[in-house]
Amino acid sequence: MSADTAPTTHQGILSWVEEIAQLTKPADVHWCTGSEEEWVQLTDSLVETGTFVRLDESKKPNSFYCASDPTDVARVEDRTYICSVDEKDCGPTNNWMDPGEMKAIMRKLYDGCMAGRTMYVIPFVMGHLEADKPMFGVEITDSAYVVSSMRVMARMGSHVLRRMEELAEAGEDVAWVPALHSVGMPLADGQADVAWPCNDTKYIVQFPEERMIWSFGSGYGGNALLGKKCYALRIASVMARDEGWLAEHMLILKLTSPENVTKYVAAAFPSACGKTNLAMLEPTIPGWKVESIGDDIAWMKIGDDGRLWAVNPEYGFFGVAPGTNEHTNPNAMRTINKGNSVFTNVALTDDGDVWWEGLENPPEVATSWKGERVDPRTEEGAKAAAHPNSRYCTPIKQCPILADEYDDPRGVPIDAILFGGRRKTTVPLVTEARDWVHGTFMGATLSSETTAAAVGQVGLVRRDPMAMLPFIGYNAGDYFTHWINVGKDNDAAKLPKIFYVNWFRRDENGGFLWPGFGENSRVLKWIIERIDGQAAAVETPIGHVPTPESLDVDGLGMTPEAVDAALEVDVEEWKAELPGITEWFEKFGDQLPAVLWTELDGLKARLGA
Ligand code: SAT
Ligand code: MN
């Protein structure tokens, strides 16, 4: 690449791209424009190589089916590293390696790793290009699948590069995150490619001080679309700590009451716990309206008015397919049915559509994500059809209930923060924190049964603080301190109120106590009425829980006993939680803010333990 053929005047980007090209030795380099023609060219070539199957135009226009290698289906948390200079800044919940050591290992892996492939350069911005301080990144990848997915998930292309150049030319020192990705499968001369190239050796690495990401060996979403978890959560959480804001694993929704009062809610749940469903919820109670702003990530900053303002840095939804249907998430169905989407590890039907467990109208036969012929009408066939972590990747702009505020670079002022997990027992439907510190305690002790979103056993209870366990880019003890400080440094009265919810509590027969989905609007209603000082609550050892009368269960057909069971705070069950919380807190040693021990002591005293 000579200076006159270089597609950018941005010297920093140019020299990084040249350095990486020299290391990885691709057959050619393509600077992504983000144009329509480029999308057509990319998706056509992916169809040609067998990575994509084009879906039927009348069913899912301009959309594609894709099956991964069976070993490359989820985030790999045991291969994910925070390579801070000092091990202490990584903390007990992340994997650490010395950055120099990690770079030496990875440089060897990257050496020649793009041979025979095209190296794509993707200029992108997380959040708005018009933001006060746009959050730029440049991803280099040798995967056309990643490019097409990034085009859906992030604002990317020439217009972003032009803005970076303009700012650089104006002498502004605008930061950008270099994000390097390779599937790790070089092609020898004449060697045929496979549909899903990847490598058994995988590394997903964040260098927090350098604000840099290196990823190797996986093509899967969270491991490869580096703007998402790697940048917008792991790297951004470090920036947020340094600059006094919050980068969180939260949906953002707008709720309007029958009286036309508008509130904004952010909510954190671990991956695959129904966050996307809540973000696009269709209220079952008359007169209430939900609009979406985001389904996965919220960046929240204190505004001039002292309130906490949130933006969604993403441009698409990367949602779990199984379980999504006209009942659980009609708005997600409307979004994906508009097309322009990529479906990974779902089943392919013979008439060119996609199918997954839980979707209506199972076809007589389908090709499973593993390429087997299955009968989705049988239980076994339905289970085998799609991988439990199969995904749809679809443009957010297609969401029929996207709030106008999505496009506002200032974001929205958050009224309530919800934490939630998947717990069969113990945790009531909804609990209000007494104050910010208590809410931070609730978030810090959040627990949930594991799901298929990460490789590993499903269904084990684990602590997942603020649903950020795999995404905190620094010491989790320091992260709790940062949360406490946000409360201390600002006017508590203007900060959002914090709540803890659990849609997943079961009765003694294993059935769900609460119907969930659209009915969760009843819980949102209670929360809003609480904020406005209207709804009643009982004070319990764990916080404020609705009185049965204050929760609107009109027309639900729940017995009073069932409502009581959903709201119950069982002192014995909570006493049994205490050793787990103590053990969890001990992990953090001196790094744990003392006020969280004080909160635990208070809880113990209230439980009489
Ligand atoms: O990390 S992904 O974006 O692939 C999905 C998730 O775990 O939330
Ligand atoms: Mn997520």
**For residues 399 and 333, what is the distance between their CA atoms, to the nearest angstrom?**
9
Three-state DSSP at 18 gives helix
Q: How confident is the model at residue 5 (pLDDT cuts 50, 70, 90)?
A: low
Query: What residues line ligand 1, using a CB cutoff of 6 Å?
Result: 75, 221-222, 228-229, 271, 318, 453
Strands (E), 510-579: 537-540, 543-546
| Span 206-214, average pLDDT | 98
Nearest CA to ligand 1 atom 3: 222
> The domain containing residue 139 runs over which residues?
11-52+79-243
475 in the same domain as 429:
yes
| Span 202-216, average pLDDT | 98
Q: CB of 121 within 8 A of CB of 110?
A: no
Q: CB of 196 within 8 A of CB of 51?
A: yes
Q: Residues of the chain with pLDDT > 90: what percent?
A: 96
Phi and psi dihedrals of 425, rounded to 5? Answer: -130, 180
Which run of H or E residues covers position 30?
Answer: strand 28-31
Cα of 1 from ligand 1 centre, angstroms: 36
Q: Give the end of a domain, one of 243, 276, 293.
A: 243
Nearest CA to ligand 1 atom 1: 222
Inside any domain, residue 3 = no
With a cut of 60, say whether residue 2 has pLDDT above it. Answer: no
**For residues 499 and 608, what is the distance between their CA atoms, to the nearest angstrom?**
23
259 in the same domain as 235:
no
Q: CB of 358 within 8 A of CB of 325?
A: yes
Inside any domain, residue 136 = yes
Inside any domain, residue 254 = yes
Using only C-alpha atoms, the chain has a radius of gyration, in whole angstroms, of 24
Active site includes 66? no
Three-state DSSP at 540 gives strand
Sheet with 354-355: strands ordered across: 354-355, 347-349, 366-367, 373-374
Q: Which residues on adjacent β-strands are paired with residue 462?
A: 448
With a cut of 70, say whether residue 11 has pLDDT above it. Answer: yes
Q: How confident is the model at residue 451 (pLDDT cuts 50, 70, 90)?
A: confident
Cα of 248 from ligand 2 centre, angstroms: 10
Strands (E), 134-277: 135-141, 155-156, 176-182, 203-207, 212-216, 246-248, 250-256, 262-268
Token pair recorded at residue 520: 């969760």
The interaxial angle of helices 99-110 and 11-24, nearest 10 deg, is 60
Atom of ligand 1 nearest to the CA of 454: 7
Atom of ligand 1 nearest to the CA of 228: 3
Rounded alpha-carbon distances, angstroms, from residue 405 to 242, 309, 311, 312, 333: 27, 11, 9, 10, 22
Which run of H or E residues covers position 524?
Answer: helix 521-531
274 in the same domain as 188:
no
329 in the same domain as 303:
no
**Domain count of the fold of the chain:** 3
**For residues 72 and 66, what is the distance between their CA atoms, to the nearest angstrom?**
13
Which listed residue (90, 198, 230, 273) is catalytic? 273
Per-residue burial over 246-255, b if 16 or more Cβ lie within 10 Å, else e, is bbbbbbbbbb
Inside any domain, residue 456 = yes
**For residues 27 and 115, what is the distance between their CA atoms, to the nearest angstrom?**
6
- The 10s digit of each residue's pLDDT in 552-609 is 999 999 999 999 999 999 999 999 999 999 999 999 999 999 999 999 999 999 999 9
> How much is the pLDDT for 403?
98
- The 10s digit of each residue's pLDDT in 287-332 is 999 999 999 999 999 999 999 999 999 999 999 999 999 999 999 9
595 in the same domain as 488:
yes
| Span 160-167, average pLDDT | 97
With a cut of 90, say whether residue 337 has pLDDT above it. Answer: yes
HEC profile for 282-299? Answer: CCCCCCCEEEEEECCCEE
Inside any domain, residue 442 = yes
Residue among 77, 153, 229 whose CB has most ligand 1 atoms within 8 A, to mutate: 229
Which run of H or E residues covers position 525?
Answer: helix 521-531
The predicted model scores a pTM of 0.97
349 in the same domain as 483:
no
Nearest CA to ligand 1 atom 8: 271
With a cut of 80, say whether residue 138 has pLDDT above it. Answer: yes
522 in the same domain as 411:
yes
Cα of 341 from ligand 2 centre, angstroms: 18
109 in the same domain as 22:
yes
The interaxial angle of helices 236-243 and 476-488, nearest 10 deg, is 40
273 in the same domain as 201:
no
Q: How many CB atoms lie within 10 A of CB 590?
A: 7
Nearest CA to ligand 1 atom 5: 222
Q: Give the end of a domain, one of 349, 375, 396.
A: 396
- The 10s digit of each residue's pLDDT in 211-266 is 999 999 999 999 999 999 999 999 999 999 999 999 999 999 999 999 999 999 99
Q: How confident is the model at residue 461 (pLDDT cuts 50, 70, 90)?
A: confident
432 in the same domain as 390:
no
Ligand number nearest to the C-alpha of 316: 1
Q: Give the end of a domain, one of 346, 363, 396.
A: 396
Cα of 271 from ligand 2 centre, angstroms: 5
CATH number at residue 123: 3.40.449.10
Per-residue burial over 100-117, b if 16 or more Cβ lie within 10 Å, else e, is eebbeebeebbeebbbbb
Nearest CA to ligand 1 atom 2: 222
359 in the same domain as 408:
no
Inside any domain, residue 58 = no
Q: How confident is the model at residue 1 (pLDDT cuts 50, 70, 90)?
A: very low
Average pLDDT, the chain: 97
Inside any domain, residue 74 = no
| Span 117-127, average pLDDT | 98
CATH number at residue 461: 3.90.228.20
CATH number at residue 358: 2.170.8.10
113 in the same domain as 25:
yes
- The 10s digit of each residue's pLDDT in 55-81 is 999 999 999 999 999 999 999 999 999
Residue among 150, 271, 276, 422 whose CB has most ligand 1 atoms within 8 A, to mutate: 271
Q: How confident is the model at residue 27 (pLDDT cuts 50, 70, 90)?
A: very high
| Span 143-152, average pLDDT | 98
Q: Cβ-count burial of 307 within 10 angstroms (0-12 exposed, 13-18 middle, 19+ buried)?
A: buried
Cα of 175 from ligand 1 centre, angstroms: 25
Nearest CA to ligand 1 atom 6: 271
Inside any domain, residue 30 = yes
Q: CB of 224 within 8 A of CB of 215?
A: yes
* Nearest by Cα to 282 from 290, 271, 294: 290
